[in-house]
Amino acid sequence: MSKSKTLTSNAAPEIRSIFSSNLRQLCDNYGPISQLSSELGINRTQFNRYLLGNSFPRPDVLFKICNFFGLDARILLEPLDSLQVRCSNIMFHSDLEEFFHSATDLASQSLPTGFYKFIRGSFIYDDLFTCGLFKVYQKDGCTFVRGFEPKQVFIKQGLPCSRDRREFRGLFMTHGNGVAMLSSYKMSETRIFTVLSPAPNVEKHFWFGYAALARDQSPVANRITRFVAEALEHDVSRILSVARNQGYVEIGDVPPYHRQLL
């Protein structure tokens, strides 16, 4: 056996171990493994082999995984804690440090992690509201959001409605007595800035405020609309119910308390 093959053979178990550990940590912030492997387009059985450290992916599969989680091939060689998160370079850049140093220090007690149902006024149709779902999670000292715009919203606007097109992610920051969320779609330059405060008399269960869409002014579309978020935490039955009923709703279909906050 050649020297190079011996080195590769000796290194393989360590690479598999580091990669599987990193992958398990990354998966902790997402839903069921079956859903995640489906989004990645990777066979569930093979994905489990990666998680268990029994094998590591081909270059094309590794590219999918790295692209999905916003990392690079160092995921094979270095512990996740030592890898830089791309957004941290911006938020903690020396030019912004004095202005944003505490903005992302958002404790889970301030905004509970878990799933949220949201209802906001449509940016396009004055008589419709968008009902959807997003997840709040903490990672590397920051609080993030991830979700998918309801398919019906994209279809009604004549837009491509693949999961990649509809996915949005963002970052929460402290703002007054509440929070602010800056989010963006994965395959778009559209940005949404949302400001939320705890609803009166409801302890950390409802949040309300407004969402502002960053786009050119239009005489037939809104750029600011009301927004309500309800914490579902980890109530699986309620989460699934919201997931099945995402899309446009009329004011009569909005629950009374949500309607009051809107």
- 40-95 residue pLDDT tens: 888 888 888 888 888 878 888 888 888 887 777 777 777 776 664 444 445 656 66
Of 32, 201, 204, whose CA–CA distance to 116 is shortest? 204
pLDDT in tens, 117-151: 999 998 888 889 999 999 998 877 778 899 999 88
pLDDT tens profile 145-199: 999 998 888 888 888 888 888 899 988 888 888 899 999 988 777 889 999 999 8
CATH fold of 114-261, please? Lipocalin (2.40.128)
CA atoms within 13 A on the CB side of 116: 25
Topology agreement, domain 3-82 and domain 114-261: no
- Number of Cβ within a 10 Å radius of residue 87: 16
pLDDT of the residue at 218 = 67
Which residues are CB-neighbours of 29 under 8 A, at least 6 positions away? Answer: 137, 139, 144
The CATH number of the domain covering residues in 3-82? 1.10.260.40
Q: Is the Cβ–Cβ distance between 124 and 155 less than 8 Å?
A: no
Q: pLDDT-derived band of residue 109, with 50, 70 and 90 as boundaries?
A: low
Write down the domain spans for the chain. Answer: 3-82, 114-261
Instruction: Fill in the DSSP letter of residue 75.
Output: G
Task: Determine the average pLDDT of the residues in 226-243.
Answer: 90
Q: Which of 104-108, 109-113, 127-131, 152-156 has the lowest mean pLDDT?
A: 104-108
What confidence score (pLDDT) does residue 98 get? 67
| Residue 144: other Cβ atoms inside 10 A | 21
